[in-house]
Amino acid sequence: MSNDNNTQDFARLFDLPSDHSLTMSDVNRVEKNRMVYETRWLDEHDNNHNLIARFRTWTNRSLQPPYRRQVGWEQYSLAGDLLTREIRYSKRDTMDFVH
């Protein structure tokens, strides 16, 4: 997926006004203790290209069973205040498993 598509997908997820845009400002990916941690920072701009807010998104994914995943995002004001947060955790489709 291209970077432009990623930012468009994030703009829809964050429910941004149609005249605002997102730009990717940083991406960090680390593998540690059989987990992959990926963090992205995105900048929201209005139609006059003024910086409005910053978003941090992350995905934490296990590389071993049960392959759990956490996905989330946060919106910050320019002063650094947390405005919004959403976190999603993976879960099994059924409870039919051995353990």
Provide the residue ranges of all domains of the chain, joining segments of one domain with +: 3-89
The DSSP output letter for 17 is -
- Quick: pLDDT tens for 8-55: 888 988 999 999 999 999 999 999 999 999 999 999 999 999 999 999
Task: Give me 68's structure tokens.
Answer: 């759990």
Supply angle C-alpha 13, 62, 60, rounded to 5.
35
Backbone angles phi, psi at 37, to 5 degrees: -115, 120
| CA proximity to 21, closest of 1, 42, 3 | 42
| CA proximity to 92, closest of 66, 59, 61 | 66
pTM of the model: 0.80
